[in-house]
A and B are shown apart, each in its own frame.
Chain A
Amino acid sequence: MIRRRPVLSLLSALAMVFLLGPILLVVAIGFSSGDTVEFPPPGFSLRWFDQALSNASFQQGLLTSLLVAAAATLFALVLGIPVALAVQRRTFRGHKAVETLFLSPAIVPELVLGFALFQQLMVTMRITALGALLIGHTVLLLPYAVRVTGASLALSDPALEEAARGLGAGPLRAFFAITLPVMTPGIVSAAVLSFLTSFNNVPLSLLLKGPGISTLPVEMLNYVQFSYDPTVAAVSTLLLAATVGAALLTERLVGFNKVFSR
């Protein structure tokens, strides 16, 4: 393999170095015993994990992030799945326009979207930071929900539901016995992608935070602006472990490729 495709092998190796290198660096620094970010670390310790876990703003940020990601994912799916179904089946005129509408947040720069929502929700309508975060993230996730569930629907045979109807199932029964189970891998994929997208988001969260309410990435950004110790490296290491864990779990449930293809 290596001998046959030297250029490809070299490029793969470089990609690995550039992708994995910084990540491994961060992990190493997280376990450092030193007082500042330095490489190689002077020794091994878990003290920065202790620091990270006992930091009140990180605790608050993690809770907010989890809550916002979970709720926004749920809202986006509840709104997005019917849209994906209607678009796939062309149930009404103008389904293209509706699809475009629901996909448009992905085109607008997130800072612009965030600023518009900030103006509208927080300044004009005086909605709380948590409410604004929930609405903002739901808008952010809608394109993922519509796209990914839509893609899995497009791959499934449109005759399936008809087959169920022909065999004696009413419309509701056909939906719950056939259409929904067939869509499940797509829905799980959309949920995982949406959750991660929300959880990792900075621009929207930066604009829509409020007193005592902000997300973990925003708190981490705040922290590194003022301190140069390995706490954030420790947080990053924990997040990395959680993400890898979630990915493995998803792989067991629906297959990794299904989540990230399309």
Chain B
Amino acid sequence: MTPVVQLDAVSREFAGTAAVRELDLTVRRGEFTALLGPSGCGKTTTLRMIAGFLEPTAGRILLEGEDATRLPPERRNIGMVFQSYALFPHMTVEKNVAFGLKMRGIPDGELRTRTGEALELVGLSHLAGRKPKQLSGGQQQRIALARAIAVRPSVLLLDEPLSNLDARLRIQMRQELARIQKETGLTAILVTHDQEEALELADSMVILDQGTVAQQGAPREVFRAPANRFVAEFLGYENFVELPDGRTVTIRPEHVEVLTSESTDSTPSDGTTVDAVLTAVRFRGTDCVVTAVSQGRTVLATSSDFELRSGRQVRVHLPAAHTIDLPRTKQELPTS
């Protein structure tokens, strides 16, 4: 099956500085792909090139198998949801949603039906006559989504669509987005810097680092096995430890066990266990985060033992099942 979107070594420079470098990306039909990475890593640039608002300085973009590298946006059949929503302020909600259908010359009757369906899908049929200014942020967001979906695009492009919403609404809209994508079966590319959003929504996750792919795969795979330190750090791995046998590993604080003389005397048979002193304890309500220092090395761990205090002698256990080997990066290689 031809992929819906395919990027072949796509690069984009701005005044000599590369924002995206030789990026390869394949998005299959019905798949929800997340482009994830810190601010400035080239996510928006990539999305804008797929939409046709920016031309790549090198490489090819295929849409539905056809070369679309130089195709203007109006001939790409994309549906884009902008970070600012970009609803047309002088048009009613209904006119906004109908705009793409009108541009496609859809006859009146069908246009009304499809506009109605799109509004229904986002649950805002009752606001059809309003102007965008009269809507809340969350409602504007849904209308922007309805407008993009109404044209039945070959791919739905979402640029940080939830970032302007407050925390509670964001989580609610995340579920809405998942439902709508399931119901419509649309192919979608979501740009986000929020790893939770990507983990929850995406079938496939692409992590970008300075315009190149740092790792891609299913969220479960990537999360369980970050390929390098950049990805690990981005996904919230906070411990990077060089083990006595010379391996560099990473482990999440939630997976590090803090053992005290009261909790157990026996040394776990797997993984690595070291003696350490607690130098800081931060209470977080459901657990605490402790800083343990062993032979000059620092390890962060979470614990639900609320009796732990700074200065306490403990043993720190890094279970084998949760320690992930990392390739040595250039900086960490011993100088020869």
Contacts and interface: CB of A to CB of B under 8 A. Distances in A.
Contacts of A173: 103
B103 A167 contact: yes
B88 interface: yes
Interface stretch (B76-84, B175-183, B240-248, B278-286): B76-84
A164 B89 CA distance: 12
A28 B104 CA distance: 63
A163 B53 contact: no
Interface in A153-171: 156-157, 159-160, 162-171
B80 A166 contact: yes
Contact of B88 (A163, A170, A171, A184): A163
B100 A168 contact: yes
Contact of A157 (B52, B84, B100): B84
A157 B103 contact: no
Residue in A157, A164, A167, A177 whose Cβ sees the most chain B Cβ within 10 Å: A167
B86 A163 contact: yes
Contacts of A164: 88, 99
B151 A182 contact: no
A170 B71 CA distance: 12
Contacts of B77: 168
Contact of B104 (A159, A168, A184): A168
A178 interface: yes
Given A162-B53, A162-B73, A169 B103 contact: yes
A82 interface: no
Given A166-B51, A169-B74, A160 B86 contact: yes
B99 A166 contact: no
Given A159-B86, A178-B88, A182-B90, A165 B99 contact: no
B311 interface: no
B329 to A, nearest CB: 38
Interface in B80-108: 80, 82-84, 86-90, 99-100, 103-104
Interface residues of A, number: 20
Nearest to A166: B80
B84 A167 contact: no
A261 B88 CA distance: 23
A181 interface: yes
A159 B84 contact: yes
Nearest to A162: B53
B72 interface: yes
Contact of B82 (A163, A168, A170, A171): A163
A168 B151 contact: yes
A177 B90 CA distance: 10
Contact of B78 (A166, A178, A182): A166
Contacts of A156: 89
Interface of A: 156-157, 159-160, 162-171, 173, 177-178, 181-182, 184
Interface of B: 51-53, 72-74, 76-80, 82-84, 86-90, 99-100, 103-104, 147-148, 151
29 contacts: A156-B89, A159-B82, A159-B84, A160-B86, A160-B88, A160-B89, A163-B80, A163-B82, A163-B87, A163-B147, A164-B99, A165-B52, A165-B72, A166-B73, A166-B76, A167-B74, A167-B99, A167-B100, A167-B103, A168-B74, A168-B77, A168-B100, A168-B103, A169-B74, A170-B72, A171-B72, A173-B103, A178-B88, A182-B89
